Amino acid sequence: MKTIRLLPLLAICAIFFTCNNPQPKTVKIATPSPIEVKNNGVHIDYTDTGKSDTTLLFVHGWCINKTYWAQQVAYFGKRYRVVTMDLAGYGQSGHNRDNWSTIAFANDVNAVIDQLKLKKVVLIGHSMSGDIVLQAAIDAPDKVIGLVGVDNFKGQGAPPQTDAQKKEIAEAIAAMRKDFKKVSFQWFNEGLFSKNTSEPIKDRILNDVAHADTVVAAASMEQQAYDELPALIKLKKKLYLINSDYQPTDTAWLVKQKLPFMLLEVHGTGHFPMVEAPVEFNLQLDKVLVNMNR
């Protein structure tokens, strides 16, 4: 059977990825807070752990949810206020809307910030949520003190697409809508896992992908176009990156634009360093937080 070409999709969406499964018994899972958060009538599920003037707000990627940050909650919740959230359409958040764009998801993040009355916020976004937290930071400049991308911003966003590229992308999304599991599994197995990604972690992620809301997942890709460069210029804050090294990070475009950034790498993992190598990931995030406070 012919293999479906996914490269055009990967070029647009190296910003997504991850979903729900039971956590190891040794990991303390945060419990939901009693304050209900809504964004235009859509329930936004979250957890709220620890006490501090500074809040670390973790935002998951495509097809996953807040439980993927459990190791970070356990580690950082002793020193910071740690909030994890499910974007609308994912995890335990509501699905009752049709807009799944970067702007709409950024509004979910800002709803959490506003309704929990958070003031000194470090936004941490995995995969597709790199752009989401970037836009959320732009929308809340007085509340967001730092921005951290996790395995994203690996190269400047693609230039305007040609008609041929638009056609390929439309065909890839149509194939996903026709057979979501087959296309998504091919994508993850060929492009997002490294040779070191363990089988239990692969099984967890693929199980979550298989149980994702396929309408929301496909629409998230279709509506995700976002111009990163002008947004980063507008941000006027240092960009921190914690990226896996299974694919190289090209920082030349950041250097060329004289945009301040700091890149730290997690070695030997695929696209999900926070669950594949949580100890190393947490140490790298510690370094980021120290640098922010200098």
Residue 277 has a CB neighbour count (10 Å cut-off) of 20
Q: Is the pLDDT of residue 5 over 80?
A: no
Averaged confidence pLDDT in the chain: 89
Extract the tokens encoding 172.
């890839």
Residue 270's pLDDT is what? 98
| pLDDT band with cut points at 50, 70 and 90 for residue 135 | very high
Averaged pLDDT, 224-230? 88
The domains located in the chain, with CATH, are: 7-292 (3.40.50.1820)
| pLDDT tens per residue, range 91-108 | 999 999 999 999 999 999
| pLDDT tens per residue, range 229-267 | 999 999 999 999 999 999 999 999 999 999 999 999 999
Residue 225's pLDDT is what? 81
| pLDDT tens per residue, range 75-92 | 999 999 999 999 999 999
Averaged pLDDT, 13-38? 51
| pLDDT band with cut points at 50, 70 and 90 for residue 159 | low
Residue 163's pLDDT is what? 83
Residue 241's pLDDT is what? 98
Distance CA 21, CA 143 (A): 32
Residue 236 near residue 257, CB atoms below 8 Å: no
| pLDDT tens per residue, range 38-76 | 999 999 999 999 999 999 999 999 999 999 999 999 999
| pLDDT band with cut points at 50, 70 and 90 for residue 18 | very low
Classified as helix, coil or strand, 37 is strand
Distance CA 96, CA 154 (A): 32
Q: Give the lowest-confidence range in 2-16, 135-149, 173-187, 193-207.
A: 2-16
Residue 224's pLDDT is what? 81
Could you tell me what percentage of the chain is helix, strand and coil, using 3-state DSSP and rounding each to the nearest 5?
Answer: 40, 15, 40
DSSP assignments along 125-143, one per residue: EETTHHHHHHHHHHH-TTT
Residue 43 near residue 26, CB atoms below 8 Å: no
CA 124, 47, 26, 210 torsion-angle sign: negative
Q: Is the pLDDT of residue 189 over 50?
A: yes
Question: Please, how many CA atoms are within 13 Å of residue 111, restricted to the half-sphere of its CB?
Answer: 23
Residues contacting residue 152 through CB under 8 Å, at least 6 positions apart: 14, 15, 125, 126, 127, 128, 129, 130, 131, 241, 243
Determine what percent of the chain is predicted with pLDDT higher than 90: 79
Q: Is the pLDDT of residue 2 over 50?
A: no
Residue 262 backbone phi and psi in degrees, to 5 = -140, 125
Residue 156's pLDDT is what? 75
Q: Which residues pair with 262 in a beta bridge?
A: 240
Burial of 248 from C-beta contacts in 10 A (0-12 / 13-18 / 19+):
exposed
Question: Please, how many CA atoms are within 13 Å of residue 31, restricted to the half-sphere of its CB?
Answer: 1
Q: Is the pLDDT of residue 284 over 80?
A: yes
